Structure 1
Amino acid sequence: MPQGRAGVGDEAAERSHDSRRVAVLVPSMDGGGAERSMFNLCRGLIARGHRVDMLVCRTEGNLNGQVPAGARFVALRRASTVRGRIAALRADPGALPVLARPMLLPWKSPWSLRYLPALARYLGESRPDVLLAGIPFFNLIALWARRRSGVDTRVVVTERSTLSVNIAIREGQWRRRFLPPLLRRTYAWADAIVAVSNGVADDLARATRIPRERIRTVYNPVVTPDLHERAKAPLAHPWFAPGMPPVILGVGEFVESKDFPTLFRAFARVRRSRPARLVILGKGKPERHALVISEVERLGIGRDVDLPGWVDNPFAYMARASVFVLSSIYEGLPGVLIQALACGCPVVSTDCQSGPAEILSHGRYGRLVAVGDDEAMAQAISETLDAAPDRARLRARGAEFSIERVLDDSVNALFG
């Protein structure tokens, strides 16, 4: 049986006549932008008087101190891989032809399957009004868990990245071939299919042949009410002191999709013509971190590059940086790009699928460059450094993605 602890504020929410119980499936507390967006949504729902259960699979990580006040934390117990596979097959026996190759036959099944039995038990016991999931494999187990439990809970699935590019880069041959048909079959059971950008929605429809009209776009609520106050907080980093060279900022996990090597090469080009420094806030697995360090050393830019790791308040850096750069190969709706705008920071981004062009209105609010083109990126950075920024205009654009503006769309998707 899942274990949980109730947060303060549940009693007040219970008394609200319009209160509904919303369960939010959180893959890991060691997460990034997707998990933080879920947390922001939870805070908005709680503020409106709804009861929120946060169903967490992997409970250890850097987000443990950020659980929204008033949320009920439920740690889902992990089952064996065999039990997870059996539960998936029993949820949809007719799916064997499309289920076997991407999920059941590979030696290393998606770890999400191991939480399917516990999720089904939770639904049977707690019977929330709505279950919200994000990320493909967790969308699948949410839908299978409802079938296994036999409840009438409304299930809303969310796509947060460009599916076709994601599976082309991250998945093996079998999953690349058979995952889209499995998603098409299983997503048909969802009460709502949400994409975090129009680009993600278009790609999901193309990749899975789900009718485009079934997919609605709801932007992530990434600009929180406290962002501007946090942006004003003191910053002790010496590179941001008055009179120092301009600082270029990047934020993200050290993974292939963020393509920091292109940013390093672009920075090396910028350094040939002007003094500048580069700070990247993020971390990665030891082997990825070693590759990052190796590239910095190879380019001879180590004295002007700082890698502080994750920080509690990236907004203080964004508010003081001369330019923020997103170098990703693919995204869904990059929250850090929006947050940089909301802090008034000029931005440069790759024109990757999907999100940056939507956020920047195809170049109106920041320069877009081709993926992997370090020469074009260096030129865009230099041009941005030379231009006088209209920070108020950038902040206004970022505010369009605030919780207050996005929450109504989120609530409509959740409750129908």
Structure 2
Amino acid sequence: MALTDTALKALKPRERTYTLADERGLYVEVFPTGGVVWRYRYRLNGKQEKLSLGKYPDLTLKNARLKRDEAAHAVAMGESPAQQKQLAKAGRAAATTVAEFGEKYFREIVARDWKNVTLPRRYFDKSIIPAIGSKAMKDVSAEDARSIIWRKKEEGFDAAAGALRGVLKRMFDYAITCGVATVNPVSALPMRHVHKAKPRERTLSPAEIRTFLRAVDESNIRRQFKIGLRLILLTMVRKSELLLARWEHVDLDAAEWHIPVEHSKTGKPHIVYLAPQAVELFQQLKRLAGGSPLILPGRAHPEKPFAHNAINSALKVSLAGQDIPAFTVHDLRRTASTLLHEHGWSSDVVEKALNHTIGGVRGIYNRAEYAPQRREMLGFWAEFVGRPSHQEQTV
């Protein structure tokens, strides 16, 4: 008996998948999840084949019958509609460009697995798209990937080159899963040949801190970066936390900076207690922000933050020609931690100020926030950082 619209609307899922026939090979398959799919069964050259036509109710009974009739005509001409569909699908996949598939990858994988998509998105938009965005995924070669990655290395950013390789590698892994590519061109470029991460141990001595701050103040980098570098040292925050910070998160009267969950690496909100020196730096940034909601608004787009590497570059420029071993922005956090520990501050207080997650049993049972101690410690730290060189030995 042929199906009717009334019968289709009344379909209910069961524990197991079942089918209901219409006529001339057309039928619906009903899944336990409630999904309903139109299929057409036919024989060609003595062999039974099956063709998926679409989902009900998106594909109505009337239109499903029309698609069945089109497929039946192909069968009568000795053609396989199922094979034609596979060839058409393969053709679309073969023509998929890097730009097109990248959007799918970010929508389906990155948005699901990454808490903060800013960095992978920036690598994709700034490095991958300009180089191979219009190229079909299947045509991307190992040389294409090498060229993109090595360009970043030649700029002096080995760690960024490694991160860029990671974005490309994972995107092509997913492309293979989706049938858009058959090989991963990045597999020919082992990470050990791109960037080998080393445990960092660099900390600045008190004398190096003075040299660093003097070099920053005397450099020609943007005023916002001069303040930002000093603020990272005083507050012990991560670079990304400052770049993403908004004025709505800062209460200068209470001398508190509230870092929301979405900006925190630990996935938990964090409060930074501001010493008077830090409050003054925020006040300077407020005047420079020009009404932007961001604490460090980008130069061209006040509604968007500076690029992730902007402060790195500013530090590199300010240290050029200085008699001080190289260090990174992140090393400022390690420096603060090391010197505060050396001056007797509790490890729990220091770790909480750094917004670190304390592991093990202590981390499970110790829920203390140490607010008064952190406020006192950050006040001491700001005084210590601003202390003239001749007073270092009196600490």
TM-score by length of 1: 0.27
| Larger Rg belongs to | 2
Greater strand share, 1 or 2? 1
Q: Which has the higher contact order (CA 8 A, sep 6+)?
A: 1
TM-score by length of 2: 0.28
